[in-house]
Amino acid sequence: MKTFSIDEINKLYQFAKDCRIYKHLVHQAAFRGFCTAMRDLENSLGEQVEDPYWQGLLRELKHFRFIHYAAPVPINYRADELLRFLEDQKKDCQLFFPSFFPRLQGVIDHVSDLVAVPGNPLLEKILELMTPVDFLKTAILLKEAYLIPVVDEVLGSLLTLKQVELVNRHQLRGVQGYQKLFVIGPHYWFPDYSFRAPRAEEVHYIRYSWIADTWEVQPVFIRPSHSRNTNEGIPSLARVGDTAREGTGEDQEQAEIPEINWQRLSTKVMRATPDDRAQEIVPSRLYLLASNHAVFLEASEHARVLALDLETGGEDDDEEETQQIRRIPVAKLQPGIFLLLRTEGGGDYIVPIADKILGEDAAQLRQAQEQWKTRLRREVEKKELLDVCIALLDLGGSKHVSEINLRYWMSSKCIRPQDDRDFRAILKLVGLADKEAFYCDVTDRIESAHRRAGFYIRKLLIRQVATADLHEIHKKGYMEFELPGLDGGSLTAFRIEGISPTITSLSASRIGRPVPAREY
């Protein structure tokens, strides 16, 4: 991973010291009319707002509104599409919610107006604030990375703006600096470092005039009010140059960010992943990834995933905890972390390489491994999990015997229990006690091959990360790795964008398979 020069870091301190922050408000009457009509419709619905009909309809309206709040796109962008959708909804509204029809019709009329409105008010404000020398060193910060291609197309049509860079919040964590950074939307949409540790000489926040943004920012550290060391902790705010027309009495509202519809996203991923009923059922959680992908990951206590650490780097030793690429518990995953997932060949990336290491014995060893697991699963099917645990304890199992661990031992993720006493008890229970030495040898060989496979992959990936462009990785949100040792195999590091709040049980065959899916 590239380290930064003192001159690059010096620039960042210069920005922190001298950056000027401006707020700008933009007004557009037709769009304002639409937003007001939409808000009035939503407010009038009362409890009906929970009805699936209104949920679906409002989702589309909110998504349209959000795009226009968050991206410098023409006012009529996707307005005709929305109009068609709303026209299709009219009949049902007249039939099931006739009292709300006039308000819906009001919204439709406003959308109809938007179709004919030319202009791109946010972009016009940007152009107004730019001087010819700025074009090469200017960036526009967008709330969502998925908006970048949309705005890219808009800018591409304007010759003067072709050089303007579109960035997401993750890119502002590097050392890349700009003369002017335009931020589209209220400040609370963006992490505090976008203004506390700015990456530009000037930061211009641009939003529609009716979006509320009070700029109430807490200092970083708590300090006694009489402290001698009183820097406010928000140095850039002291230099806010407010050119906004605030205090004009305009009715303001908060800018909502559309929530991820986890249910619909889950359905999409389920449709795109294989449902192998022969595999065990595991608790799982859905993750939304950068580049419009989503993946189910096992949510059990033992589950770990391979993650790429771009923040602390790694150490050149054999300790896994200090490696740049290491397995971390799924419970510790959070948005912003890069997950390594197999994108070609599907499923587990360790097994195929481990099988290559095991050579011609691989199939036989895997089969033997499956034998005791299948027998154990049958025992659990016959009795309850708790009864099997008691039986294992009676047969000399250790204190680690528990329902959670038993589930894990049965799963394909586990090679064998860590404690020999537990493995011995299992073999006794399933009638394989006389072949204990054989099964211990099988699991030892598989375990060793998995360790070597993990080491091999890690080394290979670290070598590729070392030469990678961090700014580019943060921009795209993913990085592809080729694995020469694996036929047609590739791994991709995806940034986590969102984590589903719920856990569902599904077949292990669906786990760890990222699929293209996007749900707003």
Partner 1 sequence: MISINLFYKSSTSWTLLPAWARFFIDVGIAVVTHENISKRALVGLALPARAYAAPLVAFGVTMGKFASSSRDMEAARRFQQLCELKSNTPLLYRRNGKLIKVFFDGLEEMDGEMKLCLSTKGERYWITSRQALQVEFPAKEFSMLPTRPSQRVRDRPSQFLVSLFGIQTARAIVSQSSLDSLTIGSLYQLKEEIQDWPIAVRTETGFASGFLQEVTRVRRFSKRTQAYRSEIYHVYSKECENTGQEIPAVVIFDGGAGFSKWRDSWRQSDWVILFDQTETEFDVAVQAFNDEYIKSPVGDRELSWFLAPPAYIPTSMYQEARQ
Asked whether the beta carbons of 340 and 306 are under 8 A apart, the reply is yes
Binding-residue pattern over the window 147 to 176 for partner 1, x denoting contact by CB under 8 A: -------------------------xx-x-
Retrieve residue 222's tokens.
């708590």
By CB under 8 A, residue 13 contacts partner 1: yes
Q: Which is nearer to partner 1, 232 or 256 (CB)?
A: 232
Q: Which is nearer to partner 1, 15 or 210 (CB)?
A: 15
d(CA 169, CA 190): 7
Q: Which is nearer to partner 1, 47 or 319 (CB)?
A: 319
Residues 6+ apart with CB under 8 A from 379: 388, 391, 429, 430
- Strand 200-208 relative to strand 178-184, pairing: parallel
Q: Which residues pair with 491 in a beta bridge?
A: 342, 481
Q: Stretches 74-82, 186-194, 283-291, 445-453: which one binds partner 1 (CB under 8 A)?
A: 186-194
By CB under 8 A, residue 257 contacts partner 1: no
Q: How many CB atoms lie within 10 A of CB 394?
A: 11
- From 10, 163, 267, 418, residue interacting with partner 1 (rule: CB under 8 A): 10
| Amino acid type, 215 | W
By CB under 8 A, residue 92 contacts partner 1: no
Asked whether the beta carbons of 181 and 200 are under 8 A apart, the reply is yes
| φ, ψ (nearest 5 deg) of residue 234 | -135, 60
Q: Stretches 194-202, 339-347, 429-437, 508-516: which one binds partner 1 (CB under 8 A)?
A: 194-202
Q: At its nearest, how many Å lie between partner 1 and the CB of residue 274? A: 33
Asked whether the beta carbons of 148 and 166 are under 8 A apart, the reply is yes
CA distances from 422 to 358, 382, 392, 444 (A): 25, 20, 7, 15
- From 55, 94, 160, 231, residue interacting with partner 1 (rule: CB under 8 A): 231
Binding-residue pattern over the window 275 to 314 for partner 1, x denoting contact by CB under 8 A: ------------------------------------xxxx
> In the sheet where 165-167 sits, what is the strand order?
165-167, 138-141, 178-184, 200-208, 20-26, 240-242
By CB under 8 A, residue 485 contacts partner 1: no
Helix/strand/coil percentages in the chain, nearest 5: 50, 20, 30
By CB under 8 A, residue 459 contacts partner 1: no
Q: Which is nearer to partner 1, 131 or 218 (CB)?
A: 218
- From 45, 211, 234, 414, residue interacting with partner 1 (rule: CB under 8 A): 234
Q: Which parts of this chain interact with partner 1 (CB under 8 A)?
A: 1, 3-4, 6-7, 9-10, 12-13, 15-17, 172-173, 175, 191-193, 196-198, 219-224, 227-229, 231-235, 238, 311-316, 319, 321-322, 326, 334, 336-337
